[in-house]
Structure 1
Amino acid sequence: MATASDISNRIIEAVMAQKLAPGARLGEQQLAMLFDCSRTIVREALTHLAARGIVTVSARRGWYLIEPSQDEAREAFEARRVIEMGLIRCTTTVNKAAIKQLKNHLTREKAAVKGKDVGLRSFLLGDFHVCLAECLGNSLLADTLRDFTARTTLIAMLYQSSHDAAQSCEEHVQIVEALEKGNLVLAERLMQSHIGSVQAALKLQAASGDPLAQLRSALSPLSPAQPKTAQELHTSVRKSGRKAAPSNDDSSTYLGALL
């Protein structure tokens, strides 16, 4: 019988492999049947994931994977940038065993990039950052990064990331090469660039100071032409042989006609 930890770990792995989409419902009964356990254990697993910011719950929908807003997406990448750059900055030396472990991970990454298993490829690309934290000797940050990587994977799916897997793998290679040479300053700079390139590939709208910007854009007139003056309307209608509609400056009337 599966434990709550087993269930939460499987859900995290499925997210990182892009096998579960943002907003996917996680039914307690279905999970209990799948993992051959009680709903109490499932609820414990989901509660842990909710505390880690991966799932959420509502009285109407039940448990489901988060669907981060654009602001939450930016915050998640900023958090990863601070954590991963800080992790490298606090490192003094990287031993040979750690480099070997990282290179073994890169070997699996390269093979997955060339292969057809998209889920494995996605998981390994994200898990590199977890592996890096473990190799640099910080298991606490490794757990934190696992959650943030799962979250940014959901963000990448939600906002249709165009980031190339081969490019991401190559950037990982460059980071490890800098660590192997002991050039931690370069490794930190490469990590900053890497996270930035992943974030830049998301289809996020630029932040706006106008809270109604999106609604304003959606409800703008379909024609780019400026509204005609009363005289222009009179002339246009006279030429077409129709009577002019009564003038009304009420914008709500205009929207009602438009919609």
Structure 2
Amino acid sequence: MSDKTTLTDAVHQLLRRAIIEQALKPGMRLPEDTVGEQFGVSRTIVRHALVRLENEGLVVTRRNRGAFVAEPSLEEAKHVFEVRRALEAEVIRLLVERMPRSGYDQLEAHVRSEESVKGKDGPVSIRLAGEFHILLAELTGNHVLARYVSEIVLRCSLIMAMYAKSHSSDCAVDEHSQIIAAIRDGDTRRATSLMDHHLGAVAGRAELEPKQDSVSSILSRYGKELAS
């Protein structure tokens, strides 16, 4: 592996983490020279890293304006969650059939990491929650499935940064433990149901359905003028 490839990998990983941990917000511009200066690398390295992030759906390039952190629309966000639920149901089915010997140890170690940041660091807990699902997919041994799940989980993290009103790491960790237990029991139906409920709760926190203000709530704002 060349030094250039290694540097590109490192910049790609750091930028991705900054996006997932919500340090870099949706819509924020990513100038190549600024990124290069901060990481001590060339603009060419930065450009390669940004192309990877664009392929993952985390960055968009606008003509004559450069790269920006992506801002998924509500419609795109709903489509992403629909695909995620289908992919992760297949992950569950495969793991019940062929969980590797060390799989449960890896999953339980990850849950302990999640428990260590409960109530302490929202952005890190969001990243760890996503990495739990990526680990599940990797344990299937199906590298194609793992790649798609990784991409979709990352995009969901970006969607949560845009639309989520809250993040309950306590609920996420408890539900992850329940999913592990159901897979260990070989109960595909229960594990799939738990996963679907879990992902539904995540999507619910993202508030993907636009809420229309009621007439009373709209007029109450105007009514305050009469009272003043």
TM-score (norm 1): 0.74
Give, in angstroms, the shift of residue 9 of structure 1.
1.6
Partner deviation per Cα, 1:56-110 (whole Å, 9 max, x = no partner)? 1113531011101000110111111111111222341324410111000001111
Q: Distance in 2 between matches of 1:16 and 1:98?
A: 25
Mapped contact 1:94–1:182 kept (Cα < 8 A): no
What residue number does 1:104 align with? 109
Structure 1 unpaired stretches of 5+: 208-213, 225-259
Q: Distance in 1 between matches of 2:219 and 2:17?
A: 48
User: Residues 66-81 of structure 1: matches in 2 within 5 Å?
Assistant: 66-81=70-85
Q: Distance in 1 between matches of 2:208 and 2:138?
A: 31
> Is the partner of 1:64 in helix, strand or coil?
strand
**Which residue of 31, 40, 52 corresponds with 2:44?**
40
What residue number does 1:161 align with? 165
Give, in angstroms, the shift of residue 178 of structure 1.
0.7
Mapped contact 1:54–1:66 kept (Cα < 8 A): yes
**Which residue of 168, 184, 189 corresponds with 2:188?**
184
Q: Distance in 1 between matches of 2:33 and 2:129?
A: 32
Task: Return 169-178 or 93-102, whichever deviates more.
Answer: 93-102
- For 1:93, the aligned partner's letter is R
- Check if 1:93 corresponds to 2:98: yes
- Check if 1:140 corresponds to 2:163: no
Cα 1:43–1:95, aligned 2, differ >3 Å: closer, same or farther? closer
Give, in angstroms, the shift of residue 31 of structure 1.
1.2
TM-score (norm 2): 0.84
**Which residue of 39, 54, 57 corresponds with 1:53?**
57
Mapped contact 1:130–1:142 kept (Cα < 8 A): yes
Q: Distance in 2 between matches of 1:125 and 1:98?
A: 17
Q: Distance in 1 between matches of 2:204 and 2:133?
A: 18
Mapped contact 2:54–2:60 kept (Cα < 8 A): yes
Mapped contact 2:32–2:43 kept (Cα < 8 A): yes
Q: Distance in 2 between matches of 1:148 and 1:14?
A: 17
Q: Distance in 1 between matches of 2:92 and 2:80?
A: 19
User: Residues 108-127 of structure 1: matches in 2 within 5 Å?
Assistant: 108-114=113-119, 116-127=120-131
Q: Distance in 2 between matches of 1:15 and 1:8?
A: 11
- For 2:67, the aligned partner's letter is W
Q: Distance in 2 between matches of 1:5 and 1:144?
A: 19
Cα 1:89–1:169, aligned 2, differ >3 Å: closer, same or farther? same
User: Residues 110-259 of structure 1: matches in 2 within 5 Å?
Assistant: 110-114=115-119, 116-206=120-210
Q: Distance in 2 between matches of 1:161 and 1:139?
A: 33
Partner deviation per Cα, 1:164-187 (whole Å, 9 max, x = no partner)? 111111111110011111212211
Partner deviation per Cα, 1:2-56 (whole Å, 9 max, x = no partner)? 6222211222222222222111211100111122221111111111211221101
What residue number does 2:224 align with? none
* Structure with larger Rg: 1
- For 1:164, the aligned partner's letter is S
Higher helix share: 2
What residue number does 1:239 align with? none
> Is the partner of 2:141 in helix, strand or coil?
coil
> Is the partner of 1:168 in helix, strand or coil?
helix
Tell me the percent identity. Answer: 34
> Is the partner of 2:147 in helix, strand or coil?
helix
Q: Which runs of 4+ in 1 moved over 4 A?
A: none
Mapped contact 1:16–1:149 kept (Cα < 8 A): no
What residue number does 1:250 align with? none
